[in-house]
Structure 1
Amino acid sequence: MKNLRNYFASALITAAVLTSCNPLQLDEVKDPNNPSEASVSINATPQQIQFLITGLESRHRGYVTNISQAWNTFGREIWFLNASDPRFQTDWLGQNGRVPDRAYFGFGTTGGGSWALPYQAIKQADVLITSAANTSLIPETSKSAVRGFAKTIKGYQFMIPANFVYENGIRIDVANPLNPGPFVPYEQALDAIKGILDEGDADLVAAGSGNFPFALTRGFNGFNTYTGLRQVNRAITARLNAYRKDWQGVLTALSASFMDLNGDLNRGPSHPYGASPDIFNPLFYLPNAAINTIIVVHPSVLRDTTAGDLRVKSKFFRRTTPVTVTTDVGALVGTHQDARWATNITSIPFIRNEELILLKAEAHANLNQVAQAVEAINIIRNAAKIGPYTGATTQAALINEILYQRRYSLWAEPWGHRWIDTRRYGRQNEIPTSFDGGTIFKQFPHPQAELNWDQYKGN
């Protein structure tokens, strides 16, 4: 005890003497893996701009896992079976009357790819734009190029939360994260996104011609020129214009995109993956692996196939042993798994020529341009080896056919196409729930943290 008292006395004396060197005052620790925004906001070097571009590409793919698993479950393109956590079935399928609330499983602001991660990518794009604007170390043409690329990705990312909460609206003005703007309605948000994409296109035009002045990953191979990036921008704009029901705008955007009626249907920019320190393709599963956490083909997709469809053969792998998961309303049995990815480092496209051709068909059908609609439909049908279209050519019949072809051409892509398609045509009652006893969701509310933030701002 005496020794302990002496120790404390000595410590107090030492602390009193060392007033100019307080051992309890720590130096500021800077995170080398997450440098401050201020470090790149003034006179960023070309190397720093490059790091921000690579970081934006990484942020750009953050949504893939959550959207692929969740939105494709909502549209019953897949089941994401997970025996370890029943909420992937009970909550995401809406079993026993479950409906989305502000704290719904898997969609919070801490990591949900449907809400938080897109806004992180948008913030990354804003930082990149600011850094390029405030440096004298790159030429004006390069600044325009950076703005064009950043706004293209930014427009794409804004479309994710917009389609997630739909009629509840999203924040577009998020330049100041401590004072974000109000929620705006869905249609107004889409118009604002159109403006962002158009600005990006104009910036790429202003940059001139030739190659993009910074390195992009292999996901942009074939599109790493100003012309190629403009084509990607216009492809994204065509998808957006379909949601805006601007059918002539769809065709105008497609004419400047990489759409090619005679080209490879799989051509398009993608999200690359790789071994550590990168991450693996999150949608890859070994064929026939003994596993009970896996994406499986929804039974209705298998039920509704057309005989001889090559898409069925190439995309769906029949397992030797089905995956079975027990839920509140009985067993869910997955007989087929995803066969699209050759390895765990295969890139995942985020928009493809096949979608663009189907957008062309949809635009022509909505404009009652029958011959052009059927021509585009037949490109898809003939590629699938199911023969040319011979059905009725009324607008309603053509839309039915196009939505059917989109169901198999765009099956389970990281966008939730069928969930969105049925909603925009008022056909969500066509999504079957008989296989899982669930509910079809129209939209999600804002996460609770968003409302908490508004209350915090007001205090």
Structure 2
Amino acid sequence: MFIYHFHTKRILLSLSALLCFSCNKLVEIPQPKNTVTTVKVFTNDAQAQSVMAGILTQMINGTGTLGTRTFSNGLTTLLGGLSADEFDSQISGPTVTYYQFNSNNLNINVSFMGELWESAYQAVYGANAILEGIEASKSPTLHQKVRTELAAEAKFIRAFSYFYLLNLFGDVPLAMTTDFNKTKNLPRAAVSVVYQQIINDLNDAVNGLPADYSAGGGERIRANKWAAKALLARVYLFTGAYTQALTEANEVIAQTGLYRLEELDKIFLKNSSESIWQLQQNTNAGPGTSTPEGDVHLPNPLHSGTLSFTLSRALLKTFEAGDLRGSLWVDSADYTNMGITTRTIFPFKYKSGKHNRVLGGVSTEYYMVLRLAEQYLIRAEANALNGQTGAALADLNILRNRAGLGELPVSLTKEEVLAAVAKERQTELFTEWGHRWFDLKRTGKAQEVLSALPVKQPWRGNYQLLYPIPKSEILRGAFLVQNPNY
């Protein structure tokens, strides 16, 4: 597996105290003599903080001058949206990568599996390196407060990465160290085992992270206690621990001094009051001031450019008349080539893309990872599942009112409320981090909903609800087995 074949920890500290680490796969090559050792990197507070900054930078920007696609900079949204019912490929054909996801006709050679897998394990590796580095360092200038907070943040990053690995690939190897000798032959761990580790990590993160945004200089670009609780609420929902999900979501929503629901056109601005955690892009490279998703999903020019994918009719039909999310968060472009016009409907949550980005400029938007509206939806679903339909409707109506819609009737049954929750999740969280793809799978609705779509017929089987493990990883890992039917 990618993570288990690192032979280096090249941790290079620049004058700007920004870490950049690269990890290679050839296990037979020993650690280079010029490598900055873990102990040296964790000599003082500034150096240790730069390690975390480097991990976050790689998560949002990828590697290299132009960046690479990663699970955490838009690839999960795009592929999950195609696999679900959010995006349609504009180009069809069995060899077109996007169409393979769109038609749920994947094979072990499909593109992007390596990027998803490797980038998530890179983040896991980085988190483990921080935990080991802090433990190994005896330096008196690495202060206890920084040790505690960075260790907690590393556990948050590890939990976050494993959440996506589980929901994309199912059982995955659980690596808790950077030691190749201990990880090289790890088998796939059961989903329940990995989820328990995620919960353990997030509880540790809650106890160790600050309750404010001081680590990010007041910007919401570093996880805090409430980010850990927000992710924990989601994990409890996914694992069926509805009472615990309700408790965690309640605590986040109660932080009214930090969080409130924003107007629809202000939610995705940097440091908006709705944001719980955002990733900050590097404006000096790659997409410049635009977020990764704005860069990928907005045409250039905005209303006459072309894209390889469009919002699906299935998604567009879910917006009720008057739903502001269907107007403020959706736009269209008409691309004309050789007298033929093709219309693309695209998500417009982010307003900065190729058409207006500025290299080296000041961003108005950061990449939204966790936001308050999801916590209302988690609380609504948990309440409904616990039989508290009135409380569930109250939360749904808050979001509906913001979107310009009327309130749902109190006469709805439990099943009808749960259906309303699913619909509100679809229209509120569309094209964000694969929410729809994961929701269909966790609620057992995937086959019913997706097999009815023309592009996904004939339905080839529910095995496609998990992505194939990258072929290269199977060849390298002696105990790594492929998902069934690939």
1:172 aligns with: 174
TM-score (norm 1): 0.79
The answer for the alignment partner of 1:353 in structure 2 is 372
Give the equivalent residue in structure 2 for 1:234.
229
**Contact 1:123–1:175 (CA under 8 A) maintained in structure 2:** yes
Query: Is the CA contact 2:377–2:395 (under 8 Å) kept in the aligned structure 1?
Result: yes
Match of 1:130 among 125, 129, 132: 132
Q: Per-residue deviation at 1:353?
A: 0.6
Distance 1:322 1:253 in 2: 50
Does the 8 Å CA contact 1:260/1:353 hold for their aligned counterparts?
no
Q: Which residue of 2 aligns with 1:46?
A: 45
1:434 maps to which of 454, 457, 476: 454
Name the stretch that deviates more: 50-59 or 448-457: 448-457
SS at match of 1:71: helix
Q: 1:303 aligns with which of 317, 322, 330?
A: 317
Q: In 1, are the aligned partners of 2:303 and 2:332 still within 8 Å (CA)?
A: no
Structure 2 SS opposite 1:351: strand
Conserved 8 A contact 1:234-1:253: yes
Cα separation, 2, equivalents of 1:138 and 1:31: 17
Aligned partners of 2:202, 2:88: CA distance in 1, in Å?
33
How far has the Cα of 1:426 moved from its partner? 1.1
Tell me: CA distance 1:198–1:80, structure 2 relative to 1, closer, same or farther (3 Å): farther
The TM-score, its normalising length taken from structure 2, stands at 0.75
Report the identity percentage: 16
Distance 1:83 1:47, change over 3 A: farther
Instruction: Determine if the alignment matches structure 1 residue 423 to structure 2 residue 441.
Output: yes
Cα distance, 1:229–1:37 mapped onto 2, change above 3 Å: farther
In 1, the alpha carbon distance for the partners of 2:187 and 2:454 equals 39
- Tell me, what secondary structure is at the counterpart of 1:426? coil
**1:451 to 2:474 alignment:** yes
Residue 106 (structure 1) aligned to one of 112, 115, 119: 112
The answer (yes or no) to whether the contact 1:83–1:293 under 8 Å persists in 2 is no
- 8 Å contact kept, 2:49–2:150: no
* 1:275 aligned to which of 269, 283, 298: 283
Select the structure with the greater relative contact order (CA < 8 A; seq sep ≥ 6).
1
Contact 1:197–1:237, Cα closer than 8 Å, also in 2: yes
The C-alpha deviation readout for 1:364-387, integer Å capped at 9, x for no partner, is: 000011111111111111111110
Counterpart Cα distance in 2 of 1:144 and 1:31: 21
Which residue is 2:55 aligned to? 56
Deviation string 1:37-67 (CA, Å, 9 cap, x unpaired) is 6523345333321221111212333422211
1:191 Cα deviation after fit:
1.6
Indicate the RMSD between aligned Cα atoms, in angstroms: 3.2
Please say which structure displays the higher CA radius of gyration: 1
Q: Is the contact made by 1:361 and 1:376 (CA closer than 8 Å) also made in structure 2?
A: yes
* Native 8 Å contact 2:230 2:252 kept in 1: yes
Contact 1:235–1:356 (CA under 8 A) maintained in structure 2: yes
The one-letter amino acid of 1:172's match is L
Structure 2: gaps of 5 or more residues:
1-9, 13-19, 23-33, 61-69, 268-273, 354-362, 481-486
Deviation at 1:217, TM superposition (A): 8.5
Partners of 1:31 and 1:250 lie apart in 2 by: 38
Counterpart of 1:388? Answer: 407
Gaps of 5+ in 1: 1-29, 325-330
Q: Secondary structure at the match of 2:58?
A: helix
CA distance in 1 between counterparts of 2:83 and 2:435 reads 10
Instruction: Quote the Cα distance in structure 2 between the aligned partners of 1:384 and 1:103.
Output: 42
* Greater shift in the superposed pair: 301-310 or 404-413: 301-310
* Pairing partner for 2:423 from 398, 401, 404: 404
Residues 217 and 446 of structure 1: is their aligned pair in 2 closer, same or farther, counting only changes over 3 Å?
A: farther
How far the C-alpha of 1:86 sits from its partner, in A, is 5.5
Number of residue-to-residue matches in the alignment? 402
SS in 1 for 2:260: coil
Tell me the distance in 2 between the aligned counterparts of 1:85 and 1:288: 29
The amino acid that maps onto 1:53 is: M
AA at the equivalent of 1:241: Y
